[in-house]
Structure 1
Amino acid sequence: MRHVALPVGSLLLFLVLWQLLAASGTWSETLVPSPAKVWDAFVDVSTTHDGVRGYNGTTLIEHLGISLRRIAFGAGIGVAAGVVFGLLMGTVGWVRSLFEPWITFLRTLPPLAYFSLLIIWLGINEEPKVTLLAVAAFPPVAVSTTAAVAAVPKSLIEAARALGGSRWDVIRDVVVPSALPETLTGVRLAVGVAYSSLVAAELVNGLPGIGGMVKDAANYNNTPVVVVGIIAIGVSGLIIDGLLLRLERMVVPWRGRT
């Protein structure tokens, strides 16, 4: 009951404070719309009203679905590349020395720093958006996998080799299972970073898309639609993170117990 009551109570408290702030008149309704205005905007962008379908001819769920597809492709590529590079850097010393500075350099860059360059190289269609999300998701997985592989107990590796295991057998049966918990944590972080880069990825030619909807609505000071888009991104992010956490518990049920 407590696990349910506390989040619900905090949400209700937030809504009450939001309503009081909007009703106080401290800021104009354009800057701080009331919850009722945001709800009306949510209904408008989710349905067809006055002959207008959703926002810019696309409903909210369709905007969100298109953005999630971009994140799935981009983050999927970044995660796969991060796992491969992490395994290589964790097991081969010279590979780590060669690539680790570049990955650290890439990890410190904000997405907007190189998005313009991606547009110059790849145009304004889907390619720069997916590439940006892939580049954003790559470093967290690579770093966490590298650290996890490097932290595998040497005694386990030596025992596997003493039992006749080849290099591949050691990686498959010892290194990967030992590194998997931290790698999955890196995957969760990578998806979060991809989500935080979503609006940046859809700054140019982002419609249809939830980030593009937020950017376009902001251009016209349509604050209720901006808030609806932010809430949609946040709620979908919570759901996906919960699914990833559930997957982690299924794949590595021993984590925290040994």
Structure 2
Amino acid sequence: MTLFVDIVPDDAPGGRSEPKSAGGSSRLRSIGTRVGLPLLSVLVFGIVWQLVAVSGIWSETFVPRLGTVWQAFVDMSTTHNGIRGYADYYWWEHLYMTLRRVLAGVVIGVVLGVLLGLAMGTVGWLRRLLEPWLTFLRALPPLAYFFLLVIWLGIDEAPKITLLALAALPPAAVATTAAVSAAPVALIEAARALGASRAEVIRDVVVPSALPETFTGIRLSVGIAYSSVVAAELFNGIPGIGGVVKDASNYNNTPVVLVGIIAIGLSGLIIDGLLRTIEHRVVPWRGKV
């Protein structure tokens, strides 16, 4: 007796490839949701903004039409009537100077904050000594001490970078302190029982367990520093997006202010996305253990 076995190829219609196509369509729907919903919200916001601007409820000084904002963006990107961009700089040159200041301030603030948090989390008396000062600094709005920095350091780059560093330091320090203090005691005791020194315990147990929370603090530091950039560029802030926003507001130039705000917001989203990517690479176990 001959036994005939009908084997259906995986790629044949109706074969076993259907679950794969279902999974592919599910991924497409997920990507469409992640991308489509934000775009839809932006579109709805733009339509509502344009309707309010056209209705005349408020003056165009307060709510300019989208075409006016676009023209301001074009003017900041080109040379028109003998004027180069805004204040003789194109918008990307302003943004570059702002990002350079933010980078310098964040690097200084985050490095000092992480080192300080590591020390405070491992040395109890140091934490009790410095924690009130960190809380005091964190409670101060950057504008409150910026004028003092200008008196001490002048109006060049030093007070701007110092302000951004002071804004970035407390979140990184507080998050690292909390993360180090919450390191698993069982793992620490096990490492000590195996003969690890204090430095080895910190390097091999405490630091890896603290990394996820530390990255959260770093992201907060970058966000707070970036939100302080307008204050940092109050004096001698051109070239700089914050300086553009401040200068344009003096003349009720709302379209230019909006272009500056959009540039700050979009670049902030990109920076946060890069930090998320770095976090996933450095701390791949976050949320899985």
Aligned to 2:35: 4
Aligned to 1:68: 99
Given residue 59 of structure 2, which amino acid in structure 1 is its aligned partner? S
Matched, 1:101 2:132: yes
Aligned to 1:251: 282
Q: Distance in 1 between matches of 2:33 and 2:113?
A: 38
**Identity across matched positions, percent:** 69
Matched, 1:113 2:113: no
Partner of 1:58, secondary structure, is coil
- Consecutive unaligned residues of structure 2, counting only runs of 5 or more, are 1-31
Aligned to 1:123: 154
Aligned to 1:53: 84
Aligned to 2:256: 225
Aligned to 2:231: 200
Q: Distance in 1 between matches of 2:195 and 2:75?
A: 66
Can you list the C-alpha shifts for 1:186-235, whole angstroms capped at 9, x where unaligned?
00000000011000000011011000000001111111000000000000
Matched, 1:241 2:272: yes
Can you list the C-alpha shifts for 1:94-147, whole angstroms capped at 9, x where unaligned?
110110000000000000110010001000000000000000000000000000
Given residue 262 of structure 2, which amino acid in structure 1 is its aligned partner? I
Given residue 247 of structure 2, which amino acid in structure 1 is its aligned partner? D
Partner of 1:257, secondary structure, is coil
Select 1:168's aligned residue among 199, 222, 225.
Answer: 199
Select 2:181's aligned residue among 135, 144, 150.
Answer: 150
Aligned to 1:139: 170
Q: Distance in 1 between matches of 2:277 and 2:234?
A: 32
Partner of 2:114, secondary structure, is helix
Q: Distance in 2 between matches of 1:85 and 1:48?
A: 48
Residue 50 of structure 1 deviates from its aligned partner by 1.8
Matched, 1:35 2:59: no
Q: Normalised by the size of structure 2, how large is the TM-score?
A: 0.89
Residue 61 of structure 1 deviates from its aligned partner by 0.3
User: How many pairs does the alignment contain?
Assistant: 258
Q: Distance in 1 between matches of 2:35 and 2:233?
A: 35
Residue 49 of structure 1 deviates from its aligned partner by 1.5
Q: CA RMSD in A?
A: 0.6
Partner of 1:3, secondary structure, is helix
Structure 1 residue ranges, 4+ long, deviating more than 2 angstroms after superposition: none
Partner of 2:284, secondary structure, is coil
Matched, 1:85 2:119: no
Aligned to 1:211: 242
Given residue 57 of structure 1, which amino acid in structure 2 is its aligned partner? D
